[in-house]
Amino acid sequence: MTGGRFRLAATGGAAVVAMLTAGSLAGCSIGGAGKLASGESGEPVTITPANGTAQVKPDGTIEVKAAGGKLQKVTVQGAAGPTVTGAFGDDRKVWRSDRTLAPGTSYTVTAQARDGGETRTVTSSFTTLKAARTLKIADVTPNVAGEKVGVGMPIIVTFDGPVADRAAVERTLRVTPGKPVEGAWRWVGQDKAIYRTKTYWEPHQTVRFHARLAGVNAGGGVYGAEDAQATLTIGAAQITKGDIRKHHMTVTRDGKKLRTVPFSAGNGQTREYTTTSGVHLLMEKGNPVTMTAPGRKPGDSGYYKTVVDHAVRFSNSGEFTHSAPWSVGSQGSANVSHGCLNLSPANARWYYDIMQRGDVIELTGTDRQIEWDNGWGFWQMSFDKWREGSALR
């Protein structure tokens, strides 16, 4: 019998080599799916990992090489996990994956090469290591469907366990705003990273968060289990500026004044009863909210328990704006509260209705500054200091 021969191989574990006679077969399967058209002799096309390989490390690289001809197309199909992409190199003689693989998953690589007018196809199927422990993102804040957030809003990512290799994990975290602005991650614990911009977000845009976590070696034998994503919708630039000494705050939206609101702030008799100055963010709201004296129980001196309406939190030390009909006579002229900003029922409801999580409220006039880690007081820290908390500094 006459006719040329060519070989296609998958390597990286036990090699699979097919020897075919062009005159005897119109095509055949490699690894159960690949096909070869008859043609002139050619050099091998090689896929790593090899067909049948098991326990492949999720952070390894898939590589396809064509010793003769050029690669036309390479696809990777996984039983689960994210889409695996890659790039050609060396004048399309090489293709390498550009991301990690999901652990404990089966994959099939299909490669097409063309040489001398003939197209050849080879496949390789393999499975990745099933990690003893995996890492997932347990929560992304904010991530509420339909919610618009303020221009100061951070992105808070909480993992389901401690992160040993923070640099490797941080490299997977992507923030893509529609209107670019510089930002940085800061780790605030073994399982939490927070993204803050250098300046406030531009209003009225979409910001996308994506973590290419699947297959990343997070250290200590832990691999990322899956990717994660979230979408933030930045709403209007609503900024509140208030002077505690003058008992008024002015609310603007996209630079235009909406309302000046009289308030009564903390009476300042103790540090606890002193409203904090600095850059705060609105964090949440509730109607009604039960407020109690921190660290005190019934019968203790200074204990109180009060139910208030239309409360908007701006720190974790018990500071809210809220309805306070009992102090309307002092609002705009004296500070008589335990630290909150007392508003009239009408103004409290108005502020409650327009608030967005991440709206900025800047307060001045006291010697008690809000700490950067009190609630979402992150803007109290300079950006240069903030990014020192990145694992990639």
Which residue from 374, 339, 342, 379 is spatially nearest to 361, judged by alpha carbons? 379
Mean pLDDT of 91-105: 97
CATH class (in words) of the domain with range 133-235: mainly beta
Q: Note whether 338 and 267 are within 8 A (CB).
A: yes
Query: Which residue shows structure tokens 């070989």?
Result: 7
Sheet with 133-135, strands from edge to edge, namely 133-135, 222-224, 217-219
Confidence at residue 11, expressed as pLDDT on a 0 to 100 scale: 40
At residue 99, the pLDDT reads 97
Q: Which residue, 337, 341, 205, is CA-closest to 262?
A: 341
Q: Which band of pLDDT confidence, cut at 50, 70 and 90, is reported for residue 25?
A: very low
Q: Is 282 left (phi over 0), alpha (psi -120 to 50) or beta?
A: beta
Q: Is 322 a catalytic residue?
A: yes
163 DSSP 8-state letter: -
User: In angstroms, rounded to a whole number, what is the distance separating the alpha carbons of residues 365 and 166?
Assistant: 39
Distance from C-alpha of 30 to C-alpha of 181, rounded to nearest angstrom = 50
Q: Where in the chain is the domain with CATH 2.60.40.3780?
A: 5-127
Q: What is the pLDDT of residue 19?
A: 27
Cα 389 to its chain centre, rounded Å, is 16
Q: What is the pLDDT of residues 125-147, one digit of tens each?
A: 999 999 999 999 999 999 999 99
What's the pLDDT score for residue 97?
A: 98
259 pLDDT band, cuts 50/70/90, is very high
Check pLDDT > 80 for residue 154: yes
Among candidate residues 330, 306, 335, the one with its CA nearest the CA of residue 318:
306
Give the pLDDT confidence score for residue 356 in this predicted structure: 98
Residues 6+ apart with CB under 8 A from 153: 142, 201, 232, 234, 281, 357, 358
> Residue 304 — pLDDT band, cuts 50, 70, 90?
confident
Note the pTM of the prediction, 2 decimals.
Answer: 0.86
Token pair 């992160």 in the structure block, residue? 163
Residue type, 378: F
280, 310, 338, 340: the catalytic one is 340
What percent of the chain clears pLDDT 70, i.e. is strictly above it? 89
Residue where the block lists tokens 């006679």? 21
Confidence category of residue 23, pLDDT binned at 50, 70, 90:
very low
- Residue 210's pLDDT is 98
Q: What is the CATH number of domain 238-380?
A: 2.40.440.10
Predicted local distance difference test score (pLDDT) of residue 293 = 84
Burial (CB count within 10 angstroms: exposed 0-12, middle 13-18, buried 19+), residue 343:
buried
End-to-end CA distance of the chain: 66
Q: Characterize the bridge pairing of strands 45-48 and 63-66.
A: antiparallel
Average pLDDT estimate for 63-68: 93
Q: How high is the mean pLDDT of the chain? A: 90
Q: Which two tokens stand for residue 50?
A: 């090899």
- Asked if pLDDT for residue 321 goes beyond 90, the answer is yes
More confidently predicted of 10 and 283: 283
Q: What whole-number percentage of the chain has pLDDT above 90?
A: 83
State the pLDDT at residue 348. Answer: 98
Residue in 218, 118, 124 with CA at minimum distance from that of residue 168: 218
Residue ranges, CATH 2.40.440.10, the chain: 238-380
The dihedral through the CA atoms of 347, 350, 352, 355 has a sign that is negative
Specify the 3-state DSSP secondary structure of 169: helix
Mean pLDDT (whole number) for 47-67: 96
pLDDT digits (tens, 9 = 90+) for 264-295: 999 999 999 999 999 999 999 999 999 988 88
Which of 21-30, 44-53, 104-113, 313-322 has the least mean pLDDT?
21-30
Tell me where in the chain the CATH 2.60.40.3710 domain(s) lie.
133-235
Task: State which fold the 5-127 domain adopts.
Answer: Immunoglobulin-like (2.60.40)
- DSSP codes joined into one string, 26-76: S---BTTTB-B---S----EEEESPTT--SB-TT---EEEESSSEEEEEEE
Catalytic position from the list 247, 280, 310, 322:
322
- What percent of the residues of the chain are helix, what percent strand, and what percent coil, each to the nearest 5? 5, 45, 50
Q: How far apart are CA 344 and CA 260, in angstroms?
A: 12
Kindly report, residue by residue over 331-351, the tens digit of the pLDDT.
999 999 999 999 999 999 999
Q: Is the pLDDT of residue 329 over 60?
A: yes
Q: Provide the pLDDT for residue 358.
A: 98
Distance between CA 329 and CA 29 in Å, rounded? 87
Q: Is 340 a catalytic residue?
A: yes
At 360-388, the pLDDT tens digits run: 999 999 999 999 999 999 999 999 999 99
